[in-house]
Amino acid sequence: MERIGFIGLGIMGAPMAQNLIKAGYYLHVYDIDHDRTIAVASSGCSNASSAYHVARTSDIIITMVPDTPELEQVIWGENGIIDAVRPDSLFIDMSTIASSTAIRMHDALVAKKVQVLDAPVSGGQTGAEQATLSIMVGGSKQAFDRALPVLKVMGKNIVHIGGPGAGQMAKTCNQIIVALTIQGVAEALTLAKKAGIDAAKVREALLGGFAQSRILDVHGQRMLDNNYQPGFKTHLQRKDLNIALQTGNELAVPLPGSSQVAALLDALIARGDAELDHSALAKLMGEMSGID
């Protein structure tokens, strides 16, 4: 069984790493937050002192970090992996970054004779904990086949999209749909409340019709409960829409809906709600409508 190094142990990364441990893999784990590293290591693996150390001791390296700067630090920063990775190792980035950055990462590591995949995920904290994530993969078929047994431990719907960067492009598309659907659910439930009807019954009815969605199910209930403890934070959703808007600009694709939701996320962040779940768009809609 190949030795796995796991870098990035936040809301998503920690349960993903723990599922690998439960499956019998021996992990070397690292997070810039030492307490997170120790917490996951206590589940039955070793804690590494740096990303460099992870790369030196692992056959497969997995990263799950918040954004492009963090990934660049892991690869090219002080004690990064670029000079530590061993030939024939496999690097899997499961963060959400721009497709262009994924291609640059791929080229730099392939030059070190490393197999590389970009494999961002969808499913949130619940999907990470229950190992039901959807995983969108870009890279070579050979690298995908090697990674598949490991990916199956963390997710259910695993699709090889195409070459380098294709996984991240699919994730960008995913995040557009997620953001716009959350906004749609927030508007609908706010309208129901303002009209004086039972929003919970509206949601129940809609779940049986064409409007049914995972977001209406999970986030619709969050909105009814005013429960915005983060499964996926508002500032990360805004970061992902920024990637979408930049990509749209590069490819001359107008994204008016994404632009509008990005502005509403900016309003949430400006109010100090960056750490709330992205379903907090409903909180903003309620206050704008004078019902919260």
Please give the sequence-ordered ranges of beta strands (E in DSSP) within the chain, or none if there are none: 4-7, 27-30, 46-47, 60-63, 90-93, 115-118, 121-122, 133-139, 155-162
- Written as six digits, the tokens of 71 are 């990934």
Contacts with 33 (C-beta within 8 Å, 6 or more apart), sequence order:
9
From 171, 193, 233, 283, the catalytic residue: 171
Residues 6+ apart with CB under 8 A from 61: 4, 5, 7, 54, 55, 81, 85, 89, 90, 91, 92
Helix/strand/coil percentages in the chain, nearest 5: 55, 15, 30
156 part of the active site:
no
Q: Rounded to whole angstroms, how far apart are CA atoms 212 and 206?
A: 6
Instruction: Please check whether residue 173 is in contact with residue 39, taking contact to mean a CB–CB distance below 8 angstroms.
Output: no
Active-site positions? 171
